[in-house]
Structure 1
């Protein structure tokens, strides 16, 4: 059996490649299987690393602010497309969540200012194209911090200039239109592609505030205010910010779109280089997954994208994860089986420390189950595309 392993990173534990390799080691402890590990990402953590496996480039560091206005060093990937110099940036390296302890103070302070600083530097170094992966962030400022970092003044209702050391969305009323147009024209020299990790619109039930801001520390009162302010941001921009992806990165995608950036999904952007569909042609089974699979996974996260691509080829897909939201029934429509790697009840820090060995053991046990219980031979699976779930159910087993 040819098994294609395309795992997302396990946040705080393993990169896409390491997660895939761990699963592969377990699978290869059984006999009769061939494996291919593909580094992939959806715009979140590990996206630049996954891209680096597909292009010939080099890393370069820059200085900018982080989410809390401290100076940091950020690593980006430089590579060429023909004669054009490109730069891949992971927003989470500047203002990532990174398992931080969050509170209402976090929501009030965190800003995307540093990304604006970085974009200024990239423009000054004759970068022709920027691939910006926008996932795993701790901010909810609608991208207004980016505007500040680019030198655009923001004002409150009284006409006071907003400070650049807090979340500007709370007090925002309008911006310096002349400066805005100047910056927008300048950035027009540099193609900016934004890889969104979710399909969320800017506001509303599925938007960045009501869906994601609580996990970034926002309390109920802050969420109400931020939601109102996002409506105002759309009014001031005179653009439709309810299209898919505008809510990515706490609305940072919307702010970048206002500046002329092209929004796409992170998986699709990376897949222009990975070309996963070509690898699917020789696969009999696909295994994907991520650290947590829940209702947010359904918003276009990597495992869903992988499952959709495999379905087009008629290839069964299994998902492996660290935790699964039990009552998210919709997930089962995409996968023939969803398996958690937990070997017992442990504190989170201990479970994260053992992620690699748990993945290996799960890969081993999973392939034993497929081989012994389902009884699917390489020839049958390849020629008939027998669904693993159907075979297991016929044998009276439950996934």
Structure 2
């Protein structure tokens, strides 16, 4: 009996990873009704990670009210798999740019406090391993807000807590970690991010990502950079940790740096963590075929995207890999050097984008059926 692993990412703005996996399974079952199918919804740490991991681990989606980037209350959702004692959090759910209207974007005042509240809630609900996806942030506070939510005191020269936002970092005088949530010491924090920017400088958090968050003038960017520089200096002086040049420290407005300073996380690519937490390598053993995919495959896909991570894992057991995509973009042929044996675009021809997005699952099922038939013909020879 054939064993087929179906492990796609989401097709952005069209359908989730689980929906994609289900459509692929339906198509293949028309040709191989008796095969064993194992659906493993995947992600790479960005958008869709929470939903994919909840599906893969039979976890639940937990929605709570937290402090949004502007200090107002927002709803944020994370995945909690109680049996595995694992929580999966996307920082953007609490502190993302989508929570801030275009005309109110101002990284001088936006905070990561809500992200810290999500971590605290996960700890209180039994999580001992937390996967934290970075990206899409509205903030540039170096993770100061998150630290405060975790019970770490960031004090000015008068002993008062510093205000929220990157514009207040220059007032930091002393760090007091004694009030940190005690559950942190028992937890393993793992950061899923493919951003390797340092905290400071021309490739740092402010210079590269600040403008899209509202740092639109040189004056604002200078204020933010000075604040992060001061923040890093105090961390180095009091905690003995230099967070300025560590790859990934600049992710999510310096949240990467704050995590390094306060929770000693493991930093890894998103797809690597997802493969580990879903026990992909164990599940793929003795499979006859692996099917993966996402919305678009192109040259950039080889840099940490889900299909490549899946393919490399499958190739450790010499299993053939087929990738399906909404679109095969420029230079997609590079994927063939990274474990993918064949790639297909799911649209049947030149069609309007609206049609492709509306009927994508149907096209995906039909394409999967045709691929299955082709594979069957090859097997029958």
Q: Same fold (TM over 0.5)?
A: yes
CA RMSD of aligned residues (A): 4.2
The correspondence of residues 329-340 of structure 1 with structure 2, limited to 5 A, is 330-334=334-338, 335-340=340-345
Aligned-pair CA distance for 1:6? 0.4
Matched, 1:287 2:303: no
* CA distance in structure 2 between the partners assigned to 1:306 and 1:70 by the alignment: 39
The correspondence of residues 300-379 of structure 1 with structure 2, limited to 5 A, is 300-327=304-331, 330-334=334-338, 335-342=340-347, 343-347=349-353, 351-368=356-373, 370-371=374-375, 376-377=378-379
* CA distance in structure 2 between the partners assigned to 1:15 and 1:29 by the alignment: 22
* CA distance in structure 2 between the partners assigned to 1:169 and 1:261 by the alignment: 22
Aligned residue number for residue 393 of structure 1 = none
The answer to whether the Cα contact below 8 Å between 1:184 and 1:259 also exists between their aligned partners in 2 is no
Aligned residue number for residue 95 of structure 2 = 95
- Deviation string 1:348-397 (CA, Å, 9 cap, x unpaired) is x65433332232233234445x448xx63179xxxxxxxxxxxxxxxxxx
The correspondence of residues 125-144 of structure 1 with structure 2, limited to 5 A, is 125=124, 127=126, 129-141=128-140, 142-144=142-144
Aligned residue number for residue 384 of structure 1 = none
Aligned residue number for residue 200 of structure 1 = 196
C-alpha spacing 1:81/1:137, structure 2 compared with 1 (3 Å): same
Aligned residue number for residue 169 of structure 1 = 166
The answer to whether the Cα contact below 8 Å between 1:197 and 1:300 also exists between their aligned partners in 2 is no
* CA distance in structure 2 between the partners assigned to 1:260 and 1:250 by the alignment: 17
Aligned residue number for residue 253 of structure 1 = 256
* CA distance in structure 2 between the partners assigned to 1:209 and 1:328 by the alignment: 32
C-alpha spacing 1:99/1:132, structure 2 compared with 1 (3 Å): same
Q: Which range moves more in the overlay, 323-332 or 18-27?
A: 323-332
C-alpha spacing 1:97/1:43, structure 2 compared with 1 (3 Å): same
* CA distance in structure 1 between the partners assigned to 2:81 and 2:33 by the alignment: 39
Aligned-pair CA distance for 1:69? 3.4
Aligned residue number for residue 187 of structure 2 = 191
Aligned residue number for residue 389 of structure 1 = none
The answer to whether the Cα contact below 8 Å between 1:131 and 1:194 also exists between their aligned partners in 2 is yes
Aligned-pair CA distance for 1:249? 3.7
* CA distance in structure 1 between the partners assigned to 2:62 and 2:242 by the alignment: 35
C-alpha spacing 1:243/1:21, structure 2 compared with 1 (3 Å): farther
- Deviation string 1:301-357 (CA, Å, 9 cap, x unpaired) is 32222122112122232322234541466444222333333443535x654333322
* CA distance in structure 2 between the partners assigned to 1:261 and 1:378 by the alignment: 54
Match of 1:262 among 261, 265, 279: 265
* CA distance in structure 2 between the partners assigned to 1:312 and 1:201 by the alignment: 30
Aligned-pair CA distance for 1:176? 4.4
Stretches of structure 1 that go unaligned for 5 or more consecutive residues are: 380-399
* CA distance in structure 1 between the partners assigned to 2:19 and 2:214 by the alignment: 30
* CA distance in structure 2 between the partners assigned to 1:187 and 1:40 by the alignment: 29
TM-score when scaled to structure 1? Answer: 0.72
Aligned residue number for residue 22 of structure 2 = 21
* CA distance in structure 2 between the partners assigned to 1:131 and 1:92 by the alignment: 15
Aligned residues: 368
TM-score when scaled to structure 2? Answer: 0.75
Aligned-pair CA distance for 1:138? 3.0
Matched, 1:74 2:73: no
C-alpha spacing 1:318/1:229, structure 2 compared with 1 (3 Å): farther
Aligned-pair CA distance for 1:134? 0.9
- Deviation string 1:91-120 (CA, Å, 9 cap, x unpaired) is 332234569986893666653221123344
